[in-house]
């Protein structure tokens, strides 16, 4: 009987030691993942953003009523960018098909609207450097804002991760390795008790916490996340991303899904499915970022650089004229000699 008790005590001690040891290993692994994340992610994000500046993106999305999966709205967003210019086109797909466009180029920025496809575009805003001393800053801000939209996998709904990472109010509370498509990903739970008056995005939903899943093999981008406003049991937003590999194995979003859930007296659920079509092209002609691309006249005094194609056509014309002049001169010389 005494031997039996002694054996049970040994087994119990062994279990306690094993549990403690396993916990120590997990804790160390989590610490390693956290250190690796903070050491690698910022640099990889910079590389990804440089790559993303060459992406031309079209996103077609459908929003559904979560209760019965009835399509509520169909939308297409197009994003174009090149050095010194950017363009965003928003269009509702359906009977009305309203559309809006925002663009910047080296000479001016503009905003357009169109009520239907059979109607022309209307200029609603047009700015030149001479009219606004801060135009250049606004232009750069517009381009960066568009880049952040294209790189949606670096954004927690309305919080830009490269900035959020350095916010002292941003706290990681738990870490857990997972697996997606046979690859290791890492889930980070976090709290963000930012005072409402100091929230970095004015007028936006005030996020207080949630979790996020990062892909360390693909520039540490987000593959899945859930955010809430302090009471996840009442309201939360979840977004997932599917990707393919582009040049240099950098990720390119192919599909995204957003689920917004509210529970309480007025419960609701909204789901948006989006297909992303992306082309890698860094040398988009600047003419595509002008008013003339929308069938509108160019502003007086605006000088927008033409693409290399026009340069080659001009050079070809000069060469042809030179050859023609040379032939004519040769013919005249021959006649004179005869």
User: What pLDDT sits at residue 303?
Assistant: 52
Tell me the pTM.
0.78
User: What is d(CA 234, CA 121) in angstroms, rounded to the nearest whole number?
Assistant: 43
Q: Which residues does 302 contact at the CB level (< 8 Å), separation at least 6?
A: 107, 108, 128, 290
User: What pLDDT sits at residue 313?
Assistant: 38
User: What pLDDT sits at residue 267?
Assistant: 85
User: What pLDDT sits at residue 251?
Assistant: 97
User: What pLDDT sits at residue 7?
Assistant: 65
| Structure token digits, residue 37 | 């994340």
User: What pLDDT sits at residue 206?
Assistant: 97
pLDDT, averaged per 10 consecutive residues of the chain (338 residues), comes to 60 50 54 94 97 97 83 94 94 88 93 90 88 64 90 97 96 95 94 97 96 98 97 95 96 97 86 97 94 93 45 41 58 55
**SS3 at position 36:** helix
Q: What is the set of domains in the chain, with CATH numbers? A: 26-294 (2.50.20)
**SS3 at position 78:** strand
User: What pLDDT sits at residue 35?
Assistant: 96
Place of tokens 């014309």: 317
User: What pLDDT sits at residue 19?
Assistant: 42
> Is-contact 85 102, C-beta < 8 A?
no
> Is-contact 185 213, C-beta < 8 A?
yes
């Amino acid at each position: 009987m005494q031997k039996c008790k002694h054996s049970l005590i040994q087994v119990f001690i062994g279990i306690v030691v094993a549990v403690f040891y396993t916990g120590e290993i997990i804790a160390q692994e989590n610490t390693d993942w956290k250190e690796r994340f903070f050491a690698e992610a910022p640099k990889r994000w910079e590389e990804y953003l440089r790559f993303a500046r060459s992406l031309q993106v079209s996103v077609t999305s459908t929003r559904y009523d979560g209760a019965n999966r009835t399509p509520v709205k169909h939308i297409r967003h197009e994003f174009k960018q090149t050095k010194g210019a950017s363009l965003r086109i928003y269009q509702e797909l359906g009977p009305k098909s309203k559309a809006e466009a925002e663009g910047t180029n080296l000479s001016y920025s503009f905003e357009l609207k169109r009520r239907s496809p059979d109607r022309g575009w209307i200029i609603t805003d047009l700015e030149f450097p001479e009219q606004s001393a801060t135009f250049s800053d606004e232009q750069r801000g517009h381009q960066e804002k568009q880049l952040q939209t294209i790189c949606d996998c670096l954004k927690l709904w309305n919080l830009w991760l490269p900035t959020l990472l350095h916010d002292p109010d941003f706290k990681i509370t738990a870490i857990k390795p997972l697996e997606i498509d046979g690859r290791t990903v890492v889930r980070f739970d976090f709290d963000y008790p930012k005072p409402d008056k100091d929230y970095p995005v004015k007028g936006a939903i005030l996020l207080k916490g949630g979790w996020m899943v990062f892909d360390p093999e693909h520039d540490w981008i987000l593959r899945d996340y859930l955010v809430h406003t302090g009471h996840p049991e009442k309201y939360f937003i979840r977004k997932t991303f599917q990707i393919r590999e582009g040049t240099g194995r950098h990720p390119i979003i192919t599909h995204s899904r957003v689920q917004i859930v509210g529970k309480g007296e007025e419960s609701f659920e909204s789901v948006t499915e989006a297909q992303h079509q992306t082309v890698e092209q860094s040398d988009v002609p600047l003419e595509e970022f002008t008013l003339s691309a929308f069938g509108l006249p160019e502003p007086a005094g605006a000088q927008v650089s033409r693409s290399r194609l026009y340069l080659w056509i001009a050079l070809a014309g000069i060469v042809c004229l030179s050859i023609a002049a040379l032939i004519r001169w040769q013919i005249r010389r021959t006649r004179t000699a005869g």
